[in-house]
Amino acid sequence: MAGLTEGLAAGVRLYAPPRAALLELHDKLMFARKMRALALPVPETHPADSDAGKTLAADRAYVLKPANSCAGLGVSMHAAGTPCRSTTRVGIWWFRSASTAGC
């Protein structure tokens, strides 16, 4: 809805943050980085195709999440050493350490 604000009739107001702010908060990697910058606890988070993401997946249980999703759609948990199959899925996936996934 936030993307529709420019097309609203005169005098009609949508009570929502700017679209850019919402997109930034919904992006899993950007959100984790923002929370870490605020010294809040967040799971270790890396792009699935990065060296850090591959190392995390080789060493620890991990959670794959679409870069932008909600309600747990597309989320899957994997045992340490399970290869990432993110190239078969739509979107970019992030590695999160399963041991801290509840943060």
- pLDDT, tens digit, for every residue of 3-57? 666 777 788 877 778 888 888 888 888 888 899 999 999 888 888 888 888 888 8
Q: Using the predicted structure, report yes or no on whether residue 76 has a pLDDT greater than 80.
A: yes
> Which whole number is the average pLDDT over 51-76?
84
Q: When comparing pLDDT for 36 and 73, which is higher?
A: 36
Structural contact between residues 52 and 21, judged by C-beta atoms closer than 8 angstroms: no
Q: CA-to-CA distance for 19 and 53, rounded, in angstroms?
A: 29
pLDDT of residue 92: 47
**What tokens were used for 4?**
């529709």
What is the spatial order of strands in the sheet that 93-97 belongs to? 45-47, 93-97, 62-66, 76-78
Structural contact between residues 53 and 32, judged by C-beta atoms closer than 8 angstroms: no
Q: When comparing pLDDT for 91 and 40, which is higher?
A: 40
pTM for the full predicted model? 0.66
